[in-house]
Structure 1
Amino acid sequence: MAITTEHVTNKGQGTTRIPNKLGGEKSPYLLQHQYNPVYWYPWSDEAFEKARKENKPIFLSIGYSTCHWCHVMAHECFEDEEVAQILNDHFISIKVDKEERPDIDTVYMTVCQATTGHGGWPLTILMTPDQKPFYAATYIPKHTRYGMIGLMDLLTQVHNDWETNSKDMLQTGDKIAKVMKESFEGKSNKGTVSKDLVNVAVSELKQSFDHDYGGFGNEPKFPTPHNLMFLLAYASLEADEQSLFMVENTLKHMYRGGIYDHIGYGFSRYSTDARWLVPHFEKMLYDNALLTITYLEAYQYTKNPLYKTIAEQILDYIRREMTDKEGGFYCAQDADSEGVEGKYYVFKPEEITAVLQNDDAGFFCNYFDITKEGNWEGASIPNRIKANELNPENERVVRLSKYIYNYRLDRSALHKDDKILTSWNALMITAYAKAAVILRGTEYADIAEKAVEFINTKLMDETGRLYVRYREENAAFYGHLDDYSFYIMALLQVYDATFHVDYLKQAIKLTDQMLELFWDDINEGFFLNASDAEQLIYRPKEVYDGAIPSGNSVAGFVLQRLAHITANPKYREYADKQLSFLAGQVKDYPAGHCFSQKAFLEALYPSKEIVCVIGEAEENENTAKTKKKEAFVTGEYDKLRKYMAENYEPNTVVLVKTEKNQEELQKIADYVKDYHIINDRTTYYVCENHSCQAPVNDLVTNTQNK
């Protein structure tokens, strides 16, 4: 197809006057490519039908809008007329936003990892019109260099082979598709949940731990907060000092490094060096959600105020820069500004001097290691690596940082991916709701509840079916397992923050829907995509906990929690099946499945259930206080809140029964019907490890005398 082009520089993205088929999409990533000379299609029946009709192979490119190397390949290849000519003449080109279609990304990323031994984005796939891949790679330059085949040579070779011997390529695609289907949809090995399995995971983490700077393995180093959540829970249950040391050492060193934005707050995606100094500067919603949870739990367990302050700062960053006016949370901020990675975040001493007074400028530069020589490409990434003490609440630092933050705001703005994803929003809701519990702040509960309302009204249809993505008044794509399991976890946490039974009711409704849509009745475990969703070359099951926990591990966790909350045999049965499935999957690399391990801890160690029964008078007083934003609660109920805030007890569930909610709560947890007020005062019923104690009117006395 002949396209008249006129290139315009726009964040390194060449454009043409006439948009390709991506022009009608909502994804910021796809829209970045709508004016490429490559005639892109979105993933659609139209594209595959055209490929079949014209007997052309498909060039599939998967990425996301804040991906640095996606930008590099776009500039080198997809804005280039020579590359576009080959693609337009001999291939059908399809662009996919991995964050909108994690099912497509998972299928073809797994193919890439299986056939090449590595993966990443941009993901490049060559496949048949029937979606069967015969070649996989990640970033590819335009021209062959340093032993890496260039896209021009690759496309020419594939075109020639397709014209002369497409049969072999079709057979290769068939073989790969068959192997993947058999591997992921075939019989699963079940396992036994045991402390041995948990202990192996801890041992593996200890072996890979960086004692100098925290974290695990070699650079690049990722935060992997679910590793730390698991170790913290293990440390508390086993009184294991080494596990606690790994958690605290990592949390402190990550904060010291440039991976943390000391000026505007929030964490970048990963560090390119062992010291956490030089990050890949993009900020992802999921990282900051999971790290907030981790710092909050670390504060709750250790009482170190540093962790509290860091969590508060991250939540402030999300509220300030990543929250939609209607309550949802945006995906990410780019690493690049003006086409340069990290330019937005680095400083030179003369810039600081121009903003602050001389004494303040010198102090600020010394405090954050901003030097004439710089620590990265001639400029300085603010950091606290050399600091003897960490005090982020230093009044002078906080005051001066605001001036530098405002100065930074005048720089070229970072691209922000403003689509709203159910799964990632659920993680952020969990973080705000946990902050409401641990920090006892009604403002955090308000933010969490507003985000729940956003999902319920914008990302859910009238039948209660979840969708993946919302942007510009458009919700799209049936929800996947991650959307369901993460959101169920969020709703359970919001219940803890508010004790509104409606959140429990919705969590149960979505759990039933999750079991219906994703459960594998034959081999157990959950598929990623729903039974009635678009079916790809195989139906993946994700178990590995990568940058975020897998949908299966979180499903195991929430089923275990619901079994404790409801005492419903149905959820106990599915929880046991799911944990057995996970145990069979994780045994070859236990440390790579730390959120599954966290679910195992819930099953292996004693649990505690606390039911608080409140009288009508105190309930009314609590309601009035909460509406006035004076405090969460008063009286004996306040002791429960204080107890929940101050005690890190990963295997504890709490229910609150009142005059107003008792009928609804009894439908969820039938056993509470026998729990009544004693002595006309708030009464606590505490059960531990399947053994219930006598009801008491004083929770503190009960827990101290246990």
Structure 2
Amino acid sequence: MNRLTDATSPYLLQHADNPVDWFPWGDEAFAEARRRNVPLLISVGYSACHWCHVMAHESFEDPGTAALMNEHFVNVKVDREERPDVDAVYMTATQAMTGQGGWPMTVFATPEGHPFYTGTYFPRQQFQRLLAGVSNAWNGDREAVLEQSSKIVEALNEQSAMPSGPLPAPSTLTRAVQSLAESFDSARGGFGGAPKFPPSMALEFLLRYGATPADEDARTTANAAMSMADRTLEAMARGGIYDQLGGGFARYSVDADWVVPHFEKMLYDNALLLRVYTHWWRSTGSALGRRVALETADWLLAEMRTPEGGFASALDADSEGVEGRFYAWTPRELREVLDEEDGAWAIDLFEVTGTFEHGTSVLQLRSDPTDPERFARVRSALLAARARRVRPGRDDKVVAAWNGLAIAALAETGALFDRPDLVEAAREAATLLDDLHLDGDRLLRTSRDGRAGTNAGVLEDYADLAEGLLALSGVTGEVRWFRRAESLLETVLERFSDGSGGFYDTADDAERLFQRPQDPTDNATPSGRFAAAGALLSYAALTGSSRHRAAAEAALGTVTVLADRHARFAGWGLAVAQAAVTGPIEVAVVGSADDPTTAALHRAALMSPLPGLVLALGEPGSGEIPLLAGRGLVGGAPAAYVCRGFTCRMPVTTPTALRAELAGGA
């Protein structure tokens, strides 16, 4: 028994019965390391991490290895999803010292928390030798260890911030498309080679760029942007990375063809991809985009929704100790579930050729089935059979940032596809976060089983939740969500600013680590900086606030450098910048909620693919959202006002007229 038994993190609870004397991150661990005068061994991971499980089984559950750890170190277990700040500073050190990173992350640090040796996964025997070697170095040559630690911390803190500049020009965004094209895999979709991660944020930028009105010369680049998005979205949807039976995407593909997934399913990936596939359908009318969006939304509700109305963090890659066992099939298994004829048809349709170990395969769907009724029957039978298997574990903690991404995606998808249940799910998640995660104007990062965690929200929590609430307000017309987003963004400006136009990832009163994290680049999710820029830009468009507009533009100042060097790691920044340079367009829809014309105008606005378009919906005379103030009915009928920078054209009263206004980009 160790000190993790009272944790709210499912990842920490996975280690509560280890023979390792684990401490959670906190003052107690540091005090114990100082008292014993031994180093900290900090192990960072997350519950769905396959190699975290492997190292746990090999080393942390092994009494001999645990004895070495307990004798020579104070051992600290960290859930990177609960403490992204701790993960960020030590990952920066790990990457600087080893040239690579990943999880599990293994860090040896002084009792003050300063790292002096880092790595990732170690097999048991190598790990045991490392434990002995680090202990000998600490006890035999401590001055050298402390000197190395001081130099590492000093070097990390001296790293210069990324140069910032003005709002990117349209030419910068065009160069970004061209930069993405240089690494684009035209044969298989995506960027670069294996492994391939879904480039959600870069795809959002490409869709926005392709939807921006342009002259004839610029249309060539816009068409190239749409072509890259089309090819990638189709390839992912038809490959093994997408769950062809139950919906939802795996974390990444280990190959370049999107065939062999790393099987964990993350909330943030699926929330981002749901929104992108919905936007793809909106821009192109793609039937595949519609199907995948709705299947992914249904998967979120069926598999990831918690009893309290939030969304769980992840599904594990493993079941019964084997990665992918829940999802993979052999030809024989298909024939056993189906009859011989349907089994042979399914083997051919899903390309089940025994490509994995033990002759299993994931299911692919390289083309739409020619017999939809038969496909529905086969799929239903296979789903029923799969439901009898041992399911992967679920990390059911609710993370504020990732729920914010899900709220935005579900609200928009529900509105565009006339699925009020999806909008209601977004509303319930927003209500949970409002009721449980907010303490005054401060946001807590996690909750579980209706119990709020104690970890303070980081920048991405405030920004992604604000983004989601603004989207929900635009879909529902409910001012409550606008007001809450307003409060969150005020905290961003007051507590996270770096004083030079950027933002730190932690608040000014957060726990002091050896470095205050500040990463402007996108990773698996939008960077906190770019997420804040997006929410600030939308809020400014809804209110006319020059303060919020200036903050958004300043935060986008690093996009120009990233666009030229690393466009793939600035996808969300590029998407927000595309909205900023084109407006964004503002639409106020005024009319009674029960008037069909109000609904028709509202839908026409939602259907516009213009980058970052913001939408305010309200009754006549409502003015709580400034964009609605002074906008009234026209001849007693509902009306839509299309504006840019709060300067509006003449109102229109029909969806046809509104679509015409928006087609011209206002």
Q: Confirm or deny a common fold (TM above 0.5).
A: yes
Q: Closer, same or farther in 2 for the Cα pair 1:113/1:90, shift >3 Å? A: same
Distance 2:461 2:149 in 1: 30
Match for 1:202 among 177, 189, 201? Answer: 177
Match for 1:156 among 132, 136, 145? Answer: 132
Distance 2:253 2:636 in 1: 57
Q: Specify the code of the residue in structure 2 equivalent to 1:664.
A: E
Give SS of 1:541's match: coil
State the identity as a percent. 36
Distance 2:342 2:303 in 1: 27
User: Is 1:23–1:31's contact at 8 Å kept on the other side of the alignment?
Assistant: yes
- The structural deviation recorded for 1:475 is 1.4
Distance 2:648 2:6 in 1: 60
Question: Deviations 1:417-454 (Å, cap 9, x if unpaired)?
Answer: 11111111111111101102321221111111011111
Query: Which residue does the alignment assign to 1:528?
Result: 505
Q: Specify the code of the residue in structure 2 equivalent to 1:503.
A: W
Q: Closer, same or farther in 2 for the Cα pair 1:355/1:80, shift >3 Å? A: same
Distance 2:229 2:162 in 1: 37
User: Is 1:306–1:391's contact at 8 Å kept on the other side of the alignment?
Assistant: no
Distance 2:168 2:370 in 1: 41
Mapped pair 1:542 → 2:502: no
Which residues in structure 2 correspond to 1:334-345 (within 5 Å)? 334-345=316-327
User: Is 2:536–2:548's contact at 8 Å kept on the other side of the alignment?
Assistant: yes
Q: Specify the code of the residue in structure 2 equivalent to 1:175.
A: K
- The structural deviation recorded for 1:689 is 6.7
Query: Which residue does the alignment assign to 1:39?
Result: 21
Question: Deviations 1:306-347 (Å, cap 9, x if unpaired)?
Answer: 110111101111111111122111111111111111111111
- The structural deviation recorded for 1:645 is 4.2
Q: Closer, same or farther in 2 for the Cα pair 1:274/1:86, shift >3 Å? A: same
Query: Which residue does the alignment assign to 1:466?
Result: 443
Mapped pair 1:649 → 2:610: yes
Q: Closer, same or farther in 2 for the Cα pair 1:22/1:393, shift >3 Å? A: farther
Distance 1:217 1:696 in 2: 46
Which residues in structure 2 correspond to 1:388-403 (within 5 Å)? 389-391=367-369, 394-403=372-381
Match for 1:674 among 630, 635, 639? Answer: 630
Match for 2:482 among 483, 498, 504? Answer: 504
Give SS of 2:640's match: strand
Q: Specify the code of the residue in structure 1 equivalent to 2:363.
A: N
**Unmatched 5+ stretches in structure 1:** 1-18, 144-149, 623-633
Q: Specify the code of the residue in structure 1 equivalent to 2:309.
A: G
Match for 1:384 among 364, 380, 391? Answer: 364
Match for 2:144 among 164, 168, 171? Answer: 168
User: Is 1:440–1:645's contact at 8 Å kept on the other side of the alignment?
Assistant: no
- The structural deviation recorded for 1:602 is 1.5
- The structural deviation recorded for 1:192 is 4.7
User: Is 1:423–1:486's contact at 8 Å kept on the other side of the alignment?
Assistant: yes
User: Is 2:166–2:554's contact at 8 Å kept on the other side of the alignment?
Assistant: no
Match for 2:619 among 650, 655, 658? Answer: 658
- The structural deviation recorded for 1:100 is 0.5
Q: Specify the code of the residue in structure 2 equivalent to 1:589.
A: H
Distance 1:230 1:550 in 2: 15
Mapped pair 1:591 → 2:568: yes
Match for 2:250 among 254, 268, 278? Answer: 268
Give SS of 2:225's match: helix
**Unmatched 5+ stretches in structure 2:** none
Q: Specify the code of the residue in structure 2 equivalent to 1:180.
A: L
Mapped pair 1:375 → 2:355: yes
TM-score, scaled relative to structure 2: 0.94
Query: Which residue does the alignment assign to 1:693?
Result: 649
TM-score, scaled relative to structure 1: 0.89
Give SS of 2:59's match: helix
User: Is 1:200–1:590's contact at 8 Å kept on the other side of the alignment?
Assistant: no
Q: Closer, same or farther in 2 for the Cα pair 1:329/1:672, shift >3 Å? A: closer
Mapped pair 1:406 → 2:384: yes
Q: More deviation in 294-303 or 29-38?
A: 29-38
Give SS of 1:570's match: helix
User: Is 1:191–1:582's contact at 8 Å kept on the other side of the alignment?
Assistant: no
Pairwise CA RMSD: 1.9
Query: Which residue does the alignment assign to 1:604?
Result: 581
Distance 1:249 1:595 in 2: 20
Q: Specify the code of the residue in structure 2 equivalent to 1:201.
A: A
Q: Closer, same or farther in 2 for the Cα pair 1:652/1:413, shift >3 Å? A: closer
- The structural deviation recorded for 1:647 is 2.5
Give SS of 2:653's match: coil
Distance 2:643 2:438 in 1: 37
Distance 1:658 1:91 in 2: 64
Q: Closer, same or farther in 2 for the Cα pair 1:496/1:262, shift >3 Å? A: same
Give SS of 2:124's match: coil
Q: Closer, same or farther in 2 for the Cα pair 1:58/1:540, shift >3 Å? A: same
User: Is 2:313–2:398's contact at 8 Å kept on the other side of the alignment?
Assistant: yes
Distance 1:21 1:392 in 2: 57
Q: Closer, same or farther in 2 for the Cα pair 1:347/1:651, shift >3 Å? A: closer
User: Is 2:585–2:644's contact at 8 Å kept on the other side of the alignment?
Assistant: yes
Distance 1:231 1:442 in 2: 29
User: Is 2:3–2:24's contact at 8 Å kept on the other side of the alignment?
Assistant: yes
Distance 2:371 2:616 in 1: 36
Match for 1:435 among 409, 413, 416? Answer: 413
User: Is 2:562–2:570's contact at 8 Å kept on the other side of the alignment?
Assistant: no
- The structural deviation recorded for 1:582 is 4.7
User: Is 2:250–2:264's contact at 8 Å kept on the other side of the alignment?
Assistant: yes
Question: Deviations 1:122-172 (Å, cap 9, x if unpaired)?
Answer: 0011110001001111111122xxxxxx11221111111111211111121
- The structural deviation recorded for 1:215 is 0.7
Query: Which residue does the alignment assign to 2:463?
Result: 485
Question: Deviations 1:584-620 (Å, cap 9, x if unpaired)?
Answer: 5665423321111111112212432222222xxx43x
Query: Which residue does the alignment assign to 1:242?
Result: 224
Distance 1:501 1:676 in 2: 18
Question: Deviations 1:246-270 (Å, cap 9, x if unpaired)?
Answer: 1111111111111111121111000
User: Is 2:400–2:445's contact at 8 Å kept on the other side of the alignment?
Assistant: yes
Query: Which residue does the alignment assign to 1:6?
Result: none
Match for 2:347 among 365, 388, 394? Answer: 365
Question: Deviations 1:660-689 (Å, cap 9, x if unpaired)?
Answer: x61423xxx1x6433222312122222247
Distance 1:192 1:645 in 2: 26
Mapped pair 1:230 → 2:205: yes
- The structural deviation recorded for 1:495 is 1.1
User: Is 1:270–1:279's contact at 8 Å kept on the other side of the alignment?
Assistant: yes
Distance 2:514 2:313 in 1: 28
Q: Specify the code of the residue in structure 2 equivalent to 1:211.
A: S
Match for 1:637 among 581, 598, 604? Answer: 598
Distance 1:664 1:454 in 2: 23
Match for 2:194 among 214, 219, 232? Answer: 219
Q: Closer, same or farther in 2 for the Cα pair 1:228/1:585, shift >3 Å? A: closer
Q: Specify the code of the residue in structure 2 equivalent to 1:381.
A: S
Query: Which residue does the alignment assign to 1:4?
Result: none
Match for 2:233 among 238, 245, 251? Answer: 251
Q: Specify the code of the residue in structure 2 equivalent to 1:202.
A: V
Give SS of 1:30's match: helix
Q: Specify the code of the residue in structure 1 equivalent to 2:65.
A: V
Match for 2:426 among 406, 425, 448? Answer: 448
Q: Specify the code of the residue in structure 2 equivalent to 1:640.
A: L
Match for 2:278 among 261, 286, 296? Answer: 296
